[in-house]
Amino acid sequence: MIMTLQSEIRRILNENQIVKNASRKEFLGLYIPALVQSNSVQFFKTAKFLNSDVKVHSNMTRIQDFYRQVDIDYDFVAILLLTLLPKSKKLRICIDRTEWDFGKTQINILMVLVGHGDFQIPFYWEMLDNNSGNSNSGNRIDLLEKVFKIIDKKRIGLIVADREFIGHKWLKWMKDQGLIFCVRVPKSHHIHRLNGEILKAEDLSKSFPNGTYLVDCMIDSVYGNVYIKPLPDGDILFLFGNCNPKFIAQLYRKRWDIEVCFQNLKTR
């Protein structure tokens, strides 16, 4: 099985120029299966599976040299990851930001997860150079424009995001691009109706304990549909999007995929 995996990886590397040097391609043909076998990204664990003909210390040195000396074209990595997804199916994008401390280094990362059904992969990401600050509309738009150079945006069936991902410029951009989206909204935001009525999420949650939806509402000066439901912990699930309001809560649950991904990156 491992030999088959190595052969397939070499074939893919020859078709996608993630690295150009032949010896580096040969290394990746060994290294990727070693990552799978060790179930770890820690060098000393992966080194045990890299090449059984040499000492583990030598494998460690080879791994360290690769990361120290090689510039990886991450656009080609994304192209490679795209081959793992269904070719003719609509894809789902989850976008989120997370931060954590790795030693003395503070990591603030904006990530796009792409998936279909129950399968999803961390597809593209940017390191934000603002310590622990939130992303802005420009960060998000730039990131998705890079994604759309690799994936035809016509293939994107849904974009899901949490409460940080609001703002007129961002919401309008998604709508203008013809993208279907569903985002959670802070409960402090007001809901503007076509008749001029202004509603509060808190009032609606009290009036409709089982949840309710409204069509043709304006959030951050962008029109769409709203879903409101009180949660057991006292918070309010306040969703906004241009998808069918009857299914907006069901679609938003897909955002849990990226939370699991972040948990895996940080602790598992």
Residues 122 and 34 occupy one common structural domain: no
Total domains present in the chain: 2
Residues 145 and 179 in one domain: yes
- Rounded Cα gap, residues 156 and 114, in angstroms: 9
Q: Which residue has the tokens 């699930």?
A: 237
Average pLDDT in the 181-199 region?
95
Q: Do 106 and 221 fall into the same domain?
A: yes
32 and 111 share one domain = no
pLDDT in tens, 202-239: 999 999 999 999 999 999 999 999 999 999 999 999 99
Q: Are residues 145 and 115 in the same domain?
A: yes
Whether the predicted pLDDT of 265 surpasses 70:
no
Whether residue 68 sits in one domain with residue 86: no
Same domain for 111 and 63: no
pLDDT tens-place string over residues 156-187: 999 999 999 999 999 999 999 999 999 999 99
Q: From 18, 38, 72, give the residue that closes a domain.
A: 72
Strands 156-161 and 181-184: parallel
Are residues 174 and 230 both part of a single domain?
yes
For 237, residues 6+ apart whose C-beta sits below 8 A from its C-beta are 184, 211, 227, 228, 229, 230, 231, 249, 252
Residues 187 and 165 grouped into a single domain: yes
Q: Is 182 helix (H, G, I), strand (E, B) or coil?
A: strand
Do the Cβ atoms of 249 and 211 come closer than 8 Å?
yes
Contact of 71 with 82, CB cutoff 8 Å: no
Domain boundary at 72, 99, 115, which?
72
Say if residue 268's pLDDT is above 70: no
Enclosing domain of residue 68: 2-72
> Residue 229: CB partners within 8 Å, gap ≥ 6?
205, 208, 210, 211, 212, 236, 237, 249
Q: Which tens digit of pLDDT belongs to each residue from 62-112?
A: 999 999 998 888 888 888 788 888 888 999 999 998 887 777 788 888 989
One domain, residues 33 and 100: no
